[in-house]
Structure 1
Amino acid sequence: MNLPQPAAGPASRSGVRRFGDHYQDLIGWIAALRVLHPSNDFKVLELEVNGVGNIDDVVLRSASGRHHYAQVKWTTNPTNAIDNTYLTKQPAQKGKSLLQKFFNSWKKLALAGEPPAMELVTNRVLDPSDPLLGLMDGRTDLLNPAARLATPGSAASTRLDEWAEHLGCSRGEVLDMLDMLLFKPGLSVNGERDRAQSLMLANGLLADSDALARGVGIVTDWVLEGRREITIDDITMEVERMRLRSDDPRAVLLIQAINRDQNPGDATVALDWVDLYEGDSPSARRQPRDPASWTVMSNDIDDAVARLRARGLHNVVIRGAMRQATFFTVGARLAQVTGINVAYVQHGTPWASDSPRVAVPEPQRSLMSLDAGNDLAVAVGMTIDPTPAVTSFAEATNLPARSLLILMPVEGAHDQSVGGPGQAVAYAQSLRNAVRAQLESTPAERVHLFLAGPGGLALLLGHRWNRVAPTTVYEDLGPGCGYVATFNVDA
């Protein structure tokens, strides 16, 4: 679903409905979903409310008193970075800079006795070369405590002094404000759509593209009507009016394996392994620095599953940036045979384990002799053919397998081989059954599993991976670099 971008329309904040307004409405719908979910602390949503300074676009009122105030900024060119110029530039008509707006709002809210959490929400990227902004902690979205530790005379310290002069305040006041100012950069429309759809699933709502458009439209109507305060009852009434309800609320399990999520507060349970991995970017993170970390991560998954089960939660939405082996293992630990259902938003479409099956041709099967042991190696190639890489790895490492079972779509591997959630369910069943059949004809003590396909399919395959031999799942290390053994799954 692409949010519409009309050239003109009903009166709004600027008199014309622009894409930036739709982006803000999408952020507003996400906030409404956070209020709606029973596990959240937020009780009231406010839109462009008066009396809070210049951070009034989206306000979430918390029962605990830690309210969140978001300033939403859209740009047609998100490569225009958040840098010192962007934060301190003042409009020609004697207006305030963005930094001044945050500072003035912080002072106003602090005087009112509220401990505000202020957020800059934008699709712009953060300038990593800035001596102060480059200190932002990806785990907290804050510049502090790193800014407080800036050594005198350093570039970061100099920038703090420049900000104090720009704001007409002390350096200490700048640092105090930065304790409350969260930077949420790089929030693209597609990324926020996926987040919204995950939250819709978590709330037991329909979550396809049409449902998302209707949800965002609810916020658009509130804005055009001049609604300022939205309660949970208001949101519930609109959800029912728009016929968005489909199921009971779900838990959210967030796995931050190769990249951090900027909104871990959405999750019922959140895991963060980013610092365990080699590499300084998601594409480079393929294995941990210490091989023993696979055991740490495996134990973390078990602990997360135990926490969900202890709370009686049997429907789980999976979120986060992870690779094939992790998707598969999470699905296996949340196994279908335990009565749990899982769901994941795959490129804007919810793939759920209980989606109605859509028939697909049986995968093409071929068997290659390895003659290096009594185990069975399995290569699943949905998006690419992994056979050359897997056979090369098996030979180089003397993988203890008698044979390699290769499973691919009948039309060959390609990036559109799985046409949606129903086909993913059918493929998960067929792929598992093919491995079962091979084990029936030639028993093996262990399966060595290599996957190339959509993450959602790996999740659903793991979810149905029962009555199969104990399995070691491998992760691809990149072209020509082989594989690494990751998790073990008892099946």
Structure 2
Amino acid sequence: MPDLPAPGPTGVRIAGDRYQWLWAWQGCVTALRDAALRTPNPVVGVGVEADQAGNLDDVVLYRARPPHTYAQVKYTADAATPVNETYLFTPSTSGGTSLLKKITQSWQRLTADGAPVDLALISNRAPDPADPLVSLRDPRTQTLMPKAGQQGPRSAKGRARSRWAANAGTDEEQLLDLLRVLRFDIARDVSHLHEHLQLLMFAAGLRPDAAAVQAGADWVARQVINGQRTLSLAQITDAVQTLALTAGPNRAVVSIATLKPDPMADDADYAIDWADRFEGDTAYSKCRPKAPATWAQLQEEIEAAPHRLPPGTAAVAVTGSLRLAPAFLTGTAFRMVTGADLAVLQRGQLWSSTEPYDTVLAPARETHAIDAGQDLAVAIAVATDPTADVLKFLQDRQLPVSRLLVLRPPAGAKDNSIPDAATANALAIGIRDALRTASHGASRIHLFQACPMGLALLLGHRWNRLRPTVVYEHVATEDLYEAAFTVDA
């Protein structure tokens, strides 16, 4: 990709506006989702450059009752200015008040009647790891407290508190009160915001494609241009219909992160975060749990998911970074026979278990005799062909299997063999039906998968009237595979 020239002032201003409209549209999607899920204190409207919000007016989430969320959105075209004292203390370009003082004054005005508030500084700027207070940010709450309030006045933290209070025009006690409700939602670049928005729209039953995200942000921009500073739930609902963004039901979210953190974790109805409990330094190298964590513990947490969702939940969105064995297990936890409607984003496409298809796609079959027992080994060869590795593993481990059955799409294994959700559902049913016959007389099935994650999820979703199944995960060691889960079928 060729180097791009530095953007000019107009380009930076347009990009900054765009960043703000995306955040406002995210608030609109949150309002839709809150209404559908009957959230106890839902977002009922979104303010953009709202009146009466002082300098925290860029995006406001109005809830049924306080605390409302007031956000200052700050965009930068480069990484030259991290969030630190210098950034927060510097007067505006016109020589006016610093950002910290503006936030403090707005907070004082908003809380003058004693109402609670939720405040946020939102930016694609990164935190400065050398800053005595900003470096204390808790990623779970995005606030600087409680660490910012610890240690005495002569400590580095204490001296920083004194400087912050002086710049804010308040005392340290009030400063700490502000820092308890001020979230530093920072290092949120545009690509991260897009990813989160697509996932949130997917969960809200909207089209999750890039064009749909663009349409939502453009709608917000038009409302602002037309002088609309508050977007009501009714207006947002009408916009979704006018823009033809509806794609399905609003879904409860199950977030399962085994490779990297999931942007939807905070919005999920049930979240499992194992990103730090898997071996490997990168998302690409993480294959299995890191001791003392075990596959059995992960299985217990995944199988608990249906019981952690609101009563009567049928439509479920699965988000996060899953390897194939956990994806298959998640599908079995929400099996079709329970009435669940399971969906996942696969390379930007919505793959739902209810996607209609014309006919069942019967897989091509290949059998390799093993003659070492009564079990059946099965290799799902869709994205690539794992036959050689599976045969070597079966021989090295001397598993008690009679034969290896390799199942492929009719056109063979290749990385684009499953173009859409309809094909994935048709093939998942074809594989299941083939195994109902092939597993007669087998004690167990040993399952090895080389397929899209979405297909593994949909296959587990339909895994019924089969034999108990040992699900294997491909690991980056000489062992090639490792038994991850055993599921009843």
Q: Partners in 2 of 1:293 and 1:225 — Cα distance?
A: 56
Q: CA deviation at 1:245?
A: 3.9
Which residue of structure 2 lines up, in the alignment, with residue 27 of structure 1?
Answer: 23
C-alpha deviations, 1:29-80, integer Å up to 9, x for none? 2211111222332122111112223222211112241211223333444697
Structure 2: which 5+ runs fail to align? 1-6
Cα distance change, pair 111–321 in 1 and its aligned pair in 2 (3 A): farther
1:349 paired residue number: 349
Q: Distance in 1 between matches of 2:281 and 2:65?
A: 36
2:321 pairs with 1:325 = no
SS of the counterpart of 1:432? helix
Deviation at 1:118, TM superposition (A): 2.0
Give the equivalent residue in structure 2 for 1:470.
468
Larger mean Cα displacement after TM superposition, 468-477 or 292-301: 292-301
CA distance in 1: counterparts of 2:250 and 2:201, whole angstroms:
9
CA contact (8 A) 2:328 2:457 kept: yes
3-state SS in 1 of match to 2:486: strand
Match of 2:422 in 1: 422
Task: Give the structure 2 partner of residue 192 of structure 1.
Answer: 193
**CA deviation string 1:92-115 (max 9, x = no partner):** 432444444433333333334232
Q: Aligned equivalents of 2:385 and 2:86: distance in 1? A: 48
Structure 1 residues 488 and 120, CA, compared in 2 at 3 Å: closer, same or farther? farther
In structure 2, relative to structure 1, the CA distance for the partners of 1:239 and 1:407 (3 Å cut) is same
Match of 1:337 in 2: 337
Distance 1:126 1:373, change over 3 A: farther
Higher-Rg structure is: 2
Q: Which whole-Å CA distance do the structure 1 matches of 2:11 and 2:285 have between them?
A: 45
Whole-angstrom CA distance in 2 between matches of 1:361 and 1:389: 26
Q: Do 2:45 and 2:233's aligned partners in 1 also have CA atoms closer than 8 Å?
A: yes
Structure 2 distance, partners of 1:422, 1:262, is 27
Structure 1 residue 317 displacement after superposition: 1.5
Measured on the aligned residues, the alpha-carbon RMSD in Å equals 3.6
Query: 1:285: Cα distance to partner?
Result: 4.5
**Residue 237 of structure 1: CA displacement?**
2.4
Task: Look up the match of 2:239.
Answer: 238
Q: Partner of 1:179: helix, strand, or coil?
A: helix
* Equivalent residue in structure 2 for 1:18, among 6, 14, 17: 14
- In the TM superposition, residue 162 of structure 1 has moved relative to its aligned partner by 4.8
Whole-Å separation in 2 of the counterparts to 1:128 and 1:96 = 25
Q: Distance in 2 between matches of 1:388 and 1:157?
A: 63
Q: Normalising by structure 1, what TM-score?
A: 0.83
AA of the residue aligned to 1:242 = L
Query: In structure 2, do the counterparts of structure 1 residues 131 and 114 end up closer, same or farther at CA, with 3 Å as the change threshold?
Result: same
Q: Check conservation: 2:361, 2:426, Cα contact below 8 A.
A: no
- TM-score, with structure 2 as normaliser: 0.83
Question: What SS is found at the alignment partner of 1:18?
Answer: helix
Rounded to whole Å, the distance in 1 between the matches of 2:61 and 2:276 is 30
Equivalent positions of 1:113-152 (< 5 A) are 113-128=114-129, 132-149=133-150
Structure 2 partner of 1:487: 485
- Check conservation: 1:258, 1:285, Cα contact below 8 A: yes
Label 1:434 to 1:470 Cα distance change in 2 as closer, same or farther (>3 A): same
Q: CA deviation at 1:340?
A: 1.3
The residue aligned with 1:376 is 376
> What residue in structure 1 maps to residue 453 of structure 2?
455
Structure 1, unmatched stretches of 5+, are: 1-6, 9-13
Distance 1:161 1:339, change over 3 A: same
Deviation of 1:83 after TM superposition, in Å, equals 5.0
2:43 match: 42
Number of matched residues? 478
CA distance in 2, matches of 1:424, 1:330: 16
> In the alignment, residue 237 of structure 2 is paired with which amino acid?
T
1:446 aligns to what?
444
The question of whether the paired residues in 2 share the 8 Å contact of 1:358 and 1:425 is answered with no
Cα 1:123/1:421, change in 2 over 3 Å: farther
SS, match of residue 423 in structure 1: helix
- Whether contact under 8 Å (1:194, 1:348) holds in the other structure is no
Distance (Å, rounded) in 2 between the aligned partners of 1:114 and 1:66? 7
- Structure 1 residue matching 2:272: 3-state secondary structure: strand
Per-residue Cα deviation, 1:407-458 (whole angstroms, up to 9, x for no partner):
3446554443322222222232233334334324xx3222222333332222
Distance between the aligned counterparts of 1:84 and 1:361, measured in 2?
61
CA deviation map 1:102-159 (0-9, x unaligned): 3333333333423222223334444556564444333333332343446887766665
CA change 1:304–1:49 in 2 (3 A) is same
| Code of the aligned partner of 2:421 | P
Q: Which amino acid aligns with 1:377?
A: A
Deviates more, 1:150-159 or 1:58-67: 150-159
Q: Secondary structure at the match of 2:344?
A: strand
Contact 2:20 2:73 in 1 (8 A): yes
